[in-house]
Amino acid sequence: MITLGFMIEVKGYAAHNASSPLSPFSFERRNLLDYDVMIDINYCGICHTDIHQVKNEWGRSNYPMVPGHEIVGVVSKVGSKVTQFKVGNQVGVGCFVDSCRNCDTCKKGLEQYCSSLLTTYNGIEKDGKTITQGGYSNKIIVDENYVLHMPENLKPENAAPLLCAGITLYSPLMKWNAGPGKKIGIIGLGGLGHIGVKIAHALGAEVSVLSHSHKKQKDSMKMGADYFYSSSDPKTFEKLEGYFDIMINTISANVDLNEYLNLLKLDGTMVIVGIPEKDSHISPYTLISARRNLTGSLIGGILETQQMLDFCSKHKIECDVELISIQKINEAYERIINSDVRYRFVIDLSSLKC
Ligand code: NAP
Ligand code: ZN
Ligand code: ZN
């Protein structure tokens, strides 16, 4: 069993159970190992996954929990064998900080599907007991192979959400060949959805947004959507039956998936990325009647995440963010739950000093 030395004092905000608000929390991180970089965190996005996990909606939460997996900061120290980063580099950390590195999926650059994936927070370190802690904090120490280079032409606070939301949409859009001539439906215009619209538009596809109110129509057009439909209007489901090649479902809540599946054309594909609290019922007939595909997708590997950052750099794709101080975290959670985020909250970690 590996023993980790703990010496680096860190400040952050943590959840201590599933029902209390997050509150200030001090803890230690491991001393720098040979391949580690120390990152002074400047910004961290708030993903809906943080809320699901803080509230233990998936039944696998460890406390205390410092959430946050859309981390951008500056390298402040490097271990003796680090070759890819230097002090002063602007870097990012996404949803995981290690994997086994030997299995088939790791070797293919699909580390996110490794059965030994170590998530950035709420994971258990190699010592078998230490809980990993995320980016709602002022410093993090990560093996260089799990750190990303952030593009210099994107504002760091607007690029932070790319590290989870961006790659979660980029990966299935690439896998299912989104591009010219393809009709894409993005279901849910939150943190994930809004970046999906921008990426699909940059790929040259026709993009439609399906949102549960009419409130986000204007914004979606500015992001590059060609069409906007409200799922609260029953005519939407009649009008669009059999229309889409690819639909990406980012909804964080339980909805009737069959209604949306009906909107796929022959051989069309729905990719589920949203992870609601409860399971869904799927009608076999809905799939069979047009040979529709139903699949899922989990974030993306390190190489693909770097490719996504480079793509966003080339196309100047930044996230629409509301920058907040960490003291507003519990308020921000409530607004996300009410679909009232435009379109990603990002924490300015300099507020930890206040
Ligand atoms: P978010 O910002 O809260 O966006 C979710 C959107 O879903 C909302 O903006 C809303 O869009 C829609 N929605 C919410 N409640 C709804 C309801 N009752 N009925 C219909 N639509 C509803 O969340 P996010 O950060 O984008 O994350 C979305 C989901 O993806 C979460 O479950 C998260 O855990 C999961 N996730 C998965 C991965 C992965 O790798 N697969 C990665 C990151 C996150 P409209 O207002 O436009 O309807
Ligand atoms: Zn996330
Ligand atoms: Zn592996």
Q: What is the pLDDT of residues 266-323, one digit of tens each?
A: 999 999 999 998 999 999 999 999 999 999 999 999 999 999 999 999 999 999 999 9
- Give the Cα separation of 153 and 175 in Å (integer): 26
CA–centroid distance, 155 to ligand 1, in Å, is 24
pLDDT recorded at residue 1: 47
CATH code for position 178: 3.40.50.720
pLDDT recorded at residue 6: 64
Sites in the chain below the pLDDT cut of 70: 1-6
- How many C-beta neighbours within 10 Å does residue 279 have? 7
Query: Does 159 share its domain with 12?
Result: yes
Query: Does 20 share its domain with 137?
Result: yes
Length of the chain: 354
Please check whether residue 331 lies inside any domain of the structure.
Answer: yes
- Statement: the pTM of the whole predicted model exceeds 0.95: yes
Please check whether residue 304 lies inside any domain of the structure.
Answer: no
- Give the Cα separation of 337 and 344 in Å (integer): 12
Q: 336: Cβ–Cβ under 8 A, 6 or more apart, which residues?
A: 46, 48, 51, 190, 191, 345
pLDDT recorded at residue 5: 62
- Give the Cα separation of 48 and 57 in Å (integer): 11
Pocket test for ligand 1, best of 339, 343, 346 (most atoms within 8 A of CB): 339
Domain residue limits at 229: 165-296
Query: Does 156 share its domain with 169?
Result: no
Query: Does 111 share its domain with 178?
Result: no
What CA–CA distances, in Å, run from 119 to 39, 93, 111, 201? 17, 11, 11, 30
Please check whether residue 14 lies inside any domain of the structure.
Answer: yes
Query: Does 149 share its domain with 244?
Result: no
Domain boundary among 264, 296, 328: 296
Of all ligands present, the nearest one to the C-alpha of 113 is 3
> Which atom of ligand 1 approaches the CA of 275 most closely?
32
Q: Whose CA is nearest to atom 7 of ligand 1?
A: 251
In terms of Cα–Cα distance, which of 190, 162, 233, 224 is closest to 51? Answer: 190
pLDDT recorded at residue 354: 74
pLDDT recorded at residue 199: 98
